[in-house]
Amino acid sequence: MGAVIGFGYRKIAWGVVALLVIGPAVWLSFNVRAFGHHFAYLQPELEIDYAMGILMWVVFAVGIFTVGGDHRRMLLLGWIGKFFVVLVAMLFYEQLYDTDSIAYFNFRLTSYHTSADLRDTDPITSVLLIFTGDSGHESIGSSANFMRLFALITSVMPPYFHALKVGLAFLGFLGSWYFYRAVVVAMGREYPPAFYLLAFFPSIVFWSSTLGKDPVVFFFMGLYAYGGALWLVQGRLTAFLLVGAGLLGTFIIRPWISIMGAAALFGASVIGRCRPWQIAIMLLVGASGLYLFEEKANRIFGEVVVSEFIQQRAEGIAQETAKSGGSGVELPDLMGDASFAVLPWVMFTGLFRPLPFDITNPFTALAAVENTVILWLALVAIYRFRMVYFRDPLVLWPVLFSLMWTTLYGLIVMANFGTGLRYKLQTIPFLLLAIALLTHREGRALLASRIPGRKKAIECPSECPSGQVQ
């Protein structure tokens, strides 16, 4: 009887969810013209365009239901969350703010963009040009490389604005899934709350659902995170396939993120408590990577000091961002004598701003609430940090990546909070996971179990004879 009642409640719950999906979809289907004026000149049939977006979402939902297995329920709930972001909330955002999505949609229709003209090139050949064509400093990581990759990804999607958004949002959704698989590898078991945190965290669910670079980069970073966890925890050599694919895909679009990811994983492997053979392999991989990319690095960096080049690059991007509608603040000089005094504020800004005193519109208000929570939890994490955790690669890895990211991108956040929030998508999962390890009871229990002395005490308690394991 109880099982029947429970089944009935589940049917009611899923019915309510279906109504929450169908209701907004029907209402927006009749009112989409009020929200689609910004791209109506490219797609006059707005109602059909929106219907194709819904159909695309249903196709992915059916796929999740078919192959989701034991994770079907969890994945469907996360995908329903994507529906409300992509096909409801995003419409209001696009009505208020100018976005790059229109240019990307136009490129899907015409194969022409100011940074790439692929009208006479097929999508596969265009991607190969990234590796076989000119890859000097001017084109590496530029919009041209993304447009080539974008042409290949969207060639299998219908040429409708909302359908393309749903397709890229699914890539972002897969990114959240792979970040969750990294958590599962670290914990050694399933932990659904971690998935719901990654799938519904406001900045992640929103910025990984746009028609642009961010969902694609987030997908590749998810692959990198999953492979990195397999390497650090289980020592699998096959993990380098995932790490390599993730870093290569990221390098095509935003090379600095890829370089920082490789450096963070290298540092966690060498400095952290990894097995001696893992350290040896990582040193060999690192040396081989530097040797293979020496010529490319010379072409990119020239003879300048790398640290100075990074600072100049960050300042240049930030100044351009500020000119194109940024916060209007006077950016600090990282090359001056007071650079060490300024850098901590730049790093703090990159990780935790905007805050309540930065609110200028409803969008920054929502971000301020989110960052206030993150800041509070970060302070708790610092309070609970113990030096013994410093050599745990699961702590070192996200901390190193977050610190490197905020050192380079803090100025961009300071120049333009909106642009900064988009870039921040790349590091938020690492920051959240590092904070969760140090603040949540499950995370602290995991770290405690990984301390060598504590682990030995658990395996061989006092009642066991010396040297014997139960």
Residue pointed to by tokens 């408590």: 273
How high is the pLDDT of residue 328?
Answer: 43
**How high does pLDDT run on average in the chain?**
79
Predicted pLDDT of residue 264:
94
The DSSP string of 441-467 is HHHHHHHHHHSHHHHHHHHS-TTSPTT
Structure tokens, 195: 């998935």
| Highest mean pLDDT out of 40-54, 332-346, 442-456 | 40-54
How confident is the model over 133-159, as a mean pLDDT? Answer: 72
pLDDT in tens, 244-258: 999 999 988 888 899
- Residue 117 CA to residue 109 CA, distance in Å, equals 12
User: What tens digit of pLDDT does each residue of 29-42 get?
Assistant: 556 666 666 666 67
Which residue carries 């719950």 as its tokens?
A: 13
Residue 196 pLDDT class (50, 70, 90 cuts): very high
H-state helical runs in 353-387: 362-384
Is the pLDDT higher at 9 or at 442? 442
Of the listed ranges 9-18, 62-71, 307-316, 429-438, the least confidently predicted one is 307-316
**314 or 380, which is more confident:** 380
| pLDDT confidence of residue 340 | 60
Check residues 344 and 37 and name the one with the higher pLDDT. 344
HSE (side-chain half, CA atoms, 13 Å) at 307: 3
Q: Does position 84 have pLDDT exceeding 50, yes or no?
A: yes
Q: What is residue 232's predicted lDDT score, i.e. its pLDDT?
A: 93
pLDDT(146) > 90: no
Comparison of pLDDT for 408 and 18, the residue scoring more: 408
pLDDT of residue 125: 79
The pLDDT value recorded for residue 305 is 41
Q: What share of the chain is helix, strand, coil (3-state, %, to 5)?
A: 75, 0, 25
pLDDT for 178 equals: 97
Residue 421's pLDDT band (cuts 50, 70, 90): confident
113 Rama sector, left if φ>0, alpha if ψ -120 to 50, beta otherwise? beta
**CA pair distance 254, 198, nearest whole angstrom:** 22
CA–CA distance from 298 to each of 30, 253, 290, 301, 306 (Å)?
56, 20, 11, 5, 10
For the segment 42-63, the average pLDDT, to the nearest whole number, is 88
Maximum mean pLDDT: which of 42-51, 225-234, 269-278, 412-421: 225-234
Q: What pLDDT, on a 0 to 100 scale, did the predictor assign at position 221?
A: 96
Which of 96-100, 191-195, 229-233 is predicted least confidently? 96-100
Alpha helices in 68-100 (DSSP H): 72-84, 90-96
* 341 or 312: which leads in pLDDT: 341
Beta bridge partners of 116: 113
Judged against a pLDDT cut of 50, whether residue 461 lies above it is answered with no
What pLDDT does residue 71 have? Answer: 93
Are residues 401 and 261 in contact, defined by beta-carbon separation less than 8 angstroms? yes
Q: How far apart are CA 440 and CA 432, in angstroms?
A: 11
Residue 290: CB atoms within 10 Å = 10
Comparing 5-14, 368-377, 380-389, 398-407, which segment has the lowest mean pLDDT? Answer: 5-14
% of residues, the chain, pLDDT over 70: 74
User: Does pLDDT of 410 surpass 60?
Assistant: yes
Report whether pLDDT(334) > 70. no
Q: List, for residues 282-332, the tens digit of each pLDDT value.
A: 888 888 877 766 655 554 444 444 444 455 555 555 555 545 555 444 555
Which whole number is the average pLDDT over 121-137? 67
Residue 379's pLDDT band, with cuts at 50, 70 and 90, is very high
Q: Which of 162-171, 274-283, 311-320, 354-363 has the lowest mean pLDDT?
A: 311-320
Beta-carbon contacts of 221 under 8 Å, excluding residues fewer than 6 positions away, are 175, 179, 246, 250, 257, 261, 426, 429
Place of tokens 């990198």: 224
pTM of the model: 0.84
In the block, which residue shows the tokens 């992640």?
204
* pLDDT over 90 at 444, yes or no: no
Going by C-alpha positions, the residue among 18, 50, 76, 433 that lies closest to residue 229 is 433
3-state secondary structure 137-201: CCCCCCHHHHHHHHHHHHCCCCCCHHHHHHHHHHHHHHHHHHHHHHHHHHHCCCCHHHHHHHHHC
DSSP state of 313: H
Write down the pLDDT at residue 220: 96
The per-residue pLDDT for 365 is: 85
H or E segment to which residue 274 belongs:
none
What is the pLDDT at residue 250?
Answer: 92
User: Tell me, what's the pLDDT at 288?
Assistant: 80
